[in-house]
Amino acid sequence: MYDGIVQDLIDEFGRLPGIGPKSAQRITFHILQSPSFDVSHLARLLAEVREKVRFCEVCGNVSEQDRCSICRDPRRNETLICVVEDAKDVAAIERTREFRGLYHVLGGAISPIAGVGPDDLRITQLMQRLADGKVQEVILATNPNLEGEATATYLSRLLHTLEIRVTRLASGLPVGGDLEYADEVTLGRAFEGRRTL
Amino acid sequence: MYDGIVQDLIDEFGRLPGIGPKSAQRITFHILQSPSFDVSHLARLLAEVREKVRFCEVCGNVSEQDRCSICRDPRRNETLICVVEDAKDVAAIERTREFRGLYHVLGGAISPIAGVGPDDLRITQLMQRLADGKVQEVILATNPNLEGEATATYLSRLLHTLEIRVTRLASGLPVGGDLEYADEVTLGRAFEGRRTL
């Protein structure tokens, strides 16, 4: 519909997740028309990110160095490892400021439908980190869905052969939520996990 | 939350229209993790678009040359000009394949609230295009909202001094729509503009 590279840029934005053709067009025109938008800065960042950003060789989190800022931080509790599916989950947990241990990013969850098996995840690397016996607890923080639960079950069986405490994040009602609108499974979990006051 | 340039790229995507912090994070991780996504292609396109794309000196549409592909096309009807607010509107009308005339992009609509007056729009250029008397009809296709209507009214007064037919796109019920769900103003317009069968 547009001449040459304008359409090319719209198509390219349309390939990004969550951006439909209308959004892609809107973004492209913003870039074309907004004098304040620094397009060369974005172009440079894109090139730099792909060039410089790698994954932490210890935990698999995103990092500009061999080891990420969390693994390098001496104040973090090295006896505690929180296992997550994705680096985005690390950021979500860090925002809570509740957890001061280390992370281990699996790079996904076991999913027979998507063809992802245990060998496709960073499980061997996790076992290597646990080999020296320093770690006392592994928190399984995979997503509370089918794939995440399957992965947690698989890992908990594997980890029970070691003498390490294995825990799973609590399931229950979201804080600020409404009991009336909770789904049956979540409400069921909230009952199962009820605590004495 | 992330190390250096990863957060920079998330922030930069977040500055684009319609992209919130979560989408910006999702896009950045897609770029980081998807091996098939050609990031250098996107970076190059961004730089090229800003460098090469300008606005057609005749109609104001986006173009890689001095004159856009529509103004260069000898098969277009030169006696008919469709006035639109934005280059995106040109693309929308082209998709209908109903209109074979030329366009004139105003670059916005009159809006006292946003501080946009007639002098901020490409109205002088429109009058220059009409000066030689070749154009027989001007179709005012500004948006059917307050600013678009004000702009159409302003232009129609200005154009009635010339001997040119001035028309406005029809307002009415959207095709495939439901009478029950139409707003009062649209339904009122549909009555006003009713046609004998």
Q: What is the CATH number of the domain that holds A85?
A: 3.40.1360.10
pLDDT in tens, A92-125: 888 888 889 999 999 999 999 999 999 999 999 9
Same domain membership, residue A139 and residue A88: yes
Residue B142 touches chain A, beta carbons under 8 Å:
no
CA distance B197 to chain A (A): 35
Residue A153 lies in a domain: yes
Residue A99 lies in a domain: yes
Task: Indicate if the pLDDT at residue A172 is higher than 90.
Answer: no
Structure-token match 């190390």, residue found: B3
Same domain membership, residue A154 and residue A78: yes
Q: Does ipTM top 0.90?
A: no
Question: What residues of A are in contact with residue B9 (Cβ under 8 Å)?
Answer: 45-46, 49
The range of the structural domain enclosing residue A24 comes to: 5-52
CA gap B114, B112 in Å, rounded: 6
Same domain membership, residue B155 and residue B89: yes
Instruction: Using alpha carbons, select from A61, A58, A52 the residue that is nearest to residue A86.
Output: A61
- Three-state SS for A194? coil
Question: Judging by beta carbons within 10 Å of its beta carbon (0-12, 13-18, 19+), is residue B76 exposed, middle or buried?
Answer: middle
Residue A148 lies in a domain: yes
Same domain membership, residue B164 and residue B78: yes
Residue A28 lies in a domain: yes
Same domain membership, residue A88 and residue A155: yes
Same domain membership, residue A160 and residue A121: yes
Same domain membership, residue A85 and residue A48: no
Task: Among B32, B62, B69, select the one facing A62 at the smallest CB separation.
Answer: B32
Same domain membership, residue A136 and residue A104: yes
Domain count, chain B: 2
What percent of chain B has a predicted confidence (pLDDT) above 70? 98
Q: According to the model, what pLDDT value does residue A193 have?
A: 80
Residue B11 lies in a domain: yes
Residue B190 lies in a domain: no
Question: What residues of B are in contact with residue A15 (Cβ under 8 Å)?
Answer: 37
Structure-token match 């060369």, residue found: A40
When pLDDT is cut at 50, 70 and 90, the band that residue A194 belongs to is confident
Q: Chain B, 63-102: which have a CB under 8 Å from a chain A CB?
A: 63-65, 68-69, 86-88, 91, 94-95
Residue B56 touches chain A, beta carbons under 8 Å:
no
Question: What residues of B are in contact with residue A67 (Cβ under 8 Å)?
Answer: none
Listed in sequence order, the residues at least 6 apart from B71 whose beta carbon sits closer than 8 Å to its beta carbon are B56, B58, B59, B61, B102
User: What does the DSSP assignment read for A52-100?
Assistant: H-EE-TTT--EESSSS-HHHH-TTSEEEEEEEESSHHHHHHHHHHT---
Cα B71 to Cα A126, B61, B66, B75, B169: the distances in Å are 63, 9, 10, 10, 22
Domain with residue B31: its CATH number is 1.10.8.420
Q: According to the model, what pLDDT value does residue A167 have?
A: 92
What residue spans of chain A are helical by DSSP H?
4-14, 21-33, 39-52, 69-72, 87-96, 123-130, 146-159, 184-192
Residue A154 lies in a domain: yes
> Hey, of A1, A15, A16, which one would you mutate to test binding to chain B, going by the most B CBs within 10 A of its CB?
A16
Residue B175 lies in a domain: no
Same domain membership, residue B98 and residue B44: no
Q: According to the model, what pLDDT value does residue A97 have?
A: 85
CA gap A136, A122 in Å, rounded: 19
